[in-house]
Amino acid sequence: MKVVFVASSRIEAEIVRGKLEAHGMRAMTRQDDEGGVNPALALSIGVKVLVDDEDFDQALRVLK
């Protein structure tokens, strides 16, 4: 899987994931907030949205 977008919040990442899934792509979010103990950490490093390698170019077009 490849990172196609880095969101500034979990909500933004979920909206992007939903848009990609609506276009038939498998997408997931990943955030490092130390298991929920340090949610501010996600604000500094972002929440990643990932897609399958073969969907990467299509995902970039959808997100333009």
pLDDT at residue number 37: 65
* Residue range(s) defining the domain that contains residue 33: 2-63
Long-range pairs of 14-20 with CB within 8 A, sequence gap ≥ 24: 16/49, 16/63, 17/49, 19/62, 19/63, 20/49, 20/51, 20/55, 20/59, 20/62, 20/63
What does the DSSP assignment read for 8-63? SSHHHHHHHHHHHHHTT--EEEE--STTTT-THHHHHH-EEEEE-GGGHHHHHHHH
Q: What is the CATH number of the domain that holds 43?
A: 3.30.70.1530
Q: State yes or no: pLDDT of 44 exceeds 90.
A: no
Q: Based on the structure, what is the number of domains in the chain?
A: 1
pTM of the model: 0.83
State what percent of residues in the chain have pLDDT above 90.
70
